[in-house]
Chain A
Amino acid sequence: MSRTITLGPREVGLEEPMYFRVEVEGETVTGLDVVAGQVHRGMEHLVMKRNLYQNITLLERLCSLCSNSHPSTFCTAVEEIAGICIPARAEYLRAIADEIKRISSHLFNCAVIAHIVGRGTLFRGVMETREIMQETKEAIYGNRMDLAANCIGGVRYDLAPESAAFLGREMERMKAPLDELYRIYATDADLTARTEGVGVLPRRDAVACAVVGPVARASGVAYDVRTKSPYGAYDRLRVEVAGEGAGDVRARTLVRLREARESVSLIEQCLAQMPAEPACLDTLPEIPAGEAIAKSEAPRGELIYYLNTDGTDMPARLKWRVPSYMNWDALAVMLKGEKVSAIPLVVNSIDPCISCTDR
């Protein structure tokens, strides 16, 4: 007896509103349809009504968990069109901002996973660890979510020696808790029982669905924009791509925790390598007519920007493809044959960013 049920955000344990139409046979999922659009703010229309400067701030609010990736990739596209080479120091500072956001974003997802499997103490523990990052962001950038780090031609912040030392100390503080969290998520018998073999995405399907980010890397697809087509400072950094083969909820969570730990090392590399020079051009560059594509590895995977300009400071066209958009489809594969009760856990394991997808 097949029937269709609708699941809303509250049953799915999401921070954001997303609804699913799920076909079930008894208690088993046979099909899934995503009902999107709750967070549609008409952003592709809005960015055409705003100039390139306004869009730096607007795009940062596409989504506050991936918030640095959007303006930095957008600015990269603008700089590509204008033929601007930003200072090397700015490239490192952009990478630092990106990696700080990655740690916070991955930890938030791991916290939600703990919350869903009913591990309240672990959930709060992960949030407390993440709080170190939140306070670091507030001290360096002045805001805990939206860093406002980027501008056309570089970055708007600089790390004075004492700030760089502070950031280095905070990174040192993160190491032990991150190693401990990895140990818990990898070895805790209850967590393993709840997440191992659940929501499996085999490598073949991962390729067929063209998934990106931690979802791909947990299914044995070692695709990471930072190493495949390095941008900014990443060609000078040693990036260890995290990989798992099982393609289940556990593998995706472990990939994120390893990446968070790897981000700490990347930030340390940046601090060690950064040359002393201005962090931004001090002129207002002219943006000629042209088009460009820029890519980056956002916390959820490959983010692509397309920008077309006509010589004014209003974009003629601006479009982006967000990583979550690629990963939604894989849910149908992951959930087929799973119990209805597993839906919240599996949905959260792709770390879906609804405000990115709906925009």
Chain B
Amino acid sequence: METAHNDTSEPPLGLFRINAGSCNGCDVELAATAAVSRFDVERLGCRYTESPGEAAIVLITGPLTARVREKALRLHGAVPEPKVTVAVGVCPVSGGVFRDSYAVAGPVDAYLPVDVNVPGCPPRPQAIVAGIAEAVLLWKARRDGVPPPTAGSLPESGGENAAPAGVRGRMRFNAAACVGCRMCAHVCAGSAIRFDEEEAGLRFTLWHNSCAFCALCAHYCRTGALAVTEEWQLAHRHEEQYRLVEQGVVPRLPCAGCGEPLLPVPPELLRVAFRETSPEIARLTALCPECRQKESIGGTRR
């Protein structure tokens, strides 16, 4: 935390919650940041308030439903300038798993300026607190009329913030193990995963701001090309929102028989399919399906 303004005589900054149609996961975790001493937002010089007029920082949860939109915008408008807005969870940023519904009017930034995003579904309280700390820095810069500091380096994700082993953070993609079956995109509830055909091969893109961090993609990935990491500290400035992506390109190689481009068969898939491989199988992997057929038919005549 920067200390230039940590004058103890300053009144606490008001935090105002707007539930824009959330499933209440983020809201329950916000309650934890108010009630549980380990997360205690008061350490940041903040306090929750029930009245928008007393607030400096707005915390928005939920995908902004059509029904709640007017009310949410009115409440946001009632918070005096300078104010800083934090999107808690992926729903306000992208709609999360509720994307493409007739009842969802979001994303929130189509209606009002968002400053900080805290990805997660829901984020850990420690991540929410990190997002609020970032918002405090921005608010002080706005109050003093100075340019915002460069994005604060996020607090240590170790120490008292340490997550247990196996915490579901962002996904990681290993292009070398991908067979391009697209099962991950098929099972992704938030449509966070895209495949694009490119000159170089098949491009995989996963947007963390639309990801529910459920890791169902990794569960159904037979070759382990997708794995869940323990990187949960993802709070960022809103202008960085599209930089939170995981990408990779699966190169297409020419078929050893006819030269047609094909996706290589990774050893991970061979292990799933055959357990043991032979030089013969390894040779077939360099051929497209059509050349493999010819090879097999020819093989019987040998």
Q: Does A54 contact B (CB under 8 A)?
A: yes
Q: Does B112 contact A (CB under 8 A)?
A: no
Contact, CB under 8 Å: B35 / A146: no
State whether A39 and B68 are in contact (beta carbons under 8 Å apart), knowing that A58-B97, A144-B124 are contacts in the complex. Answer: yes
Q: Does A15 contact B (CB under 8 A)?
A: yes
What's the tally of chain B residues with a CB closer than 8 Å to chain A?
55
**From B100, B125, B215, contact of A148 by CB (8 A):** B215
Docked CA distance A38–B23 (Å):
11
Docked CA distance A354–B24 (Å):
9
Residues 5-20 of chain A: 1 if any B CB is under 8 Å from the residue's CB, otherwise 0?
Answer: 0000110000111000
Contact, CB under 8 Å: A138 / B219: no
Chain A CB within 10 Å, residue with most, of B50, B63, B187, B215: B187
**From B38, B67, B100, B216, contact of A56 by CB (8 A):** B216
Q: Does B213 contact A (CB under 8 A)?
A: yes
Docked CA distance A111–B167 (Å):
26
Contact, CB under 8 Å: B25 / A67: yes
Tell me the A91-139 residues at the B interface (CB within 8 Å).
Answer: 108, 111, 123-124, 127-128, 131, 134-135, 138-139
Contact, CB under 8 Å: B27 / A16: yes
Contact, CB under 8 Å: A145 / B28: yes
State whether A148 and B32 are in contact (beta carbons under 8 Å apart), knowing that A38-B67, A49-B100 are contacts in the complex. Answer: no
Contact, CB under 8 Å: A127 / B32: yes
Q: Does A83 contact B (CB under 8 A)?
A: no
State whether A61 and B212 are in contact (beta carbons under 8 Å apart), knowing that A17-B68, A131-B36 are contacts in the complex. Answer: yes
How big is chain A's contact interface, by range?
Answer: 35 or more
**From A39, A41, A57, A139, contact of B214 by CB (8 A):** A57
Report A90 CB to chain B, min CB distance, Å. 14
Q: Does A31 contact B (CB under 8 A)?
A: no
What is the total of A-B residue contacts with beta carbons within 8 Å? Answer: 166
Contact, CB under 8 Å: B189 / A57: yes
Chain B residues, Cβ within 8 Å of A219: none
Chain B residues, Cβ within 8 Å of A56: 189, 216
| Closest A residue, CB atoms, query B228 | A142
Q: Does B29 contact A (CB under 8 A)?
A: yes
Docked CA distance A336–B115 (Å):
46
Tell me the B132-163 residues at the A interface (CB within 8 Å).
Answer: 163
Chain A residues, Cβ within 8 Å of B22: 16, 39, 355
**From A38, A143, A353, contact of B21 by CB (8 A):** A38
Q: Does B37 contact A (CB under 8 A)?
A: yes
Docked CA distance A235–B120 (Å):
36
Chain B residues, Cβ within 8 Å of A42: 98, 101-104
Docked CA distance A202–B197 (Å):
65
Chain A residues, Cβ within 8 Å of B66: 40
State whether A57 and B216 are in contact (beta carbons under 8 Å apart), knowing that A41-B63, A64-B23, A108-B28 are contacts in the complex. Answer: yes
**From B19, B25, B37, contact of A146 by CB (8 A):** B25
Docked CA distance A43–B187 (Å):
17
**From B65, B166, B213, B228, contact of A41 by CB (8 A):** B65
Chain A residues, Cβ within 8 Å of B36: 124, 127-128, 131
Q: Does A318 contact B (CB under 8 A)?
A: no
State whether A15 and B24 are in contact (beta carbons under 8 Å apart), knowing that A55-B189, A146-B122 are contacts in the complex. Answer: yes
| Closest B residue, CB atoms, query A64 | B25
Q: Does A215 contact B (CB under 8 A)?
A: no
Docked CA distance A135–B36 (Å):
12
Contact, CB under 8 Å: A41 / B35: no
Residues 308-326 of chain A: 1 if any B CB is under 8 Å from the residue's CB, otherwise 0?
Answer: 0000000000000000000
Chain A residues, Cβ within 8 Å of B21: 17, 38-41
Report B279 CB to chain A, min CB distance, Å. 29
Contact, CB under 8 Å: A156 / B102: no
Tell me the B167-209 residues at the A interface (CB within 8 Å).
Answer: 167-168, 186-190
Chain A residues, Cβ within 8 Å of B121: 61, 143, 146
Give 9 A-B pairs besides A40-B21, A55-B189, A141-B168 with Cβ atoms closer than 8 angstroms: A15-B27, A17-B21, A17-B71, A40-B65, A54-B188, A56-B189, A64-B28, A127-B31, A127-B32
**Can you report 23 A-B residue pairs in the complex whose CB atoms are below 8 A from each other?**
A15-B24, A38-B19, A39-B22, A39-B62, A40-B65, A45-B102, A49-B100, A53-B216, A54-B187, A54-B189, A57-B188, A57-B212, A61-B96, A64-B28, A65-B24, A124-B35, A138-B163, A142-B166, A142-B167, A142-B168, A143-B213, A148-B216, A355-B24
A: residues with CB less than 8 A from B are 9-10, 15-17, 37-43, 45-46, 49-51, 53-58, 60-65, 67, 108, 111, 123-124, 127-128, 131, 134-135, 138-146, 148, 151, 156, 353-355
Shortest beta-carbon contacts, A-B, top 3: A64-B25, A42-B103, A142-B168
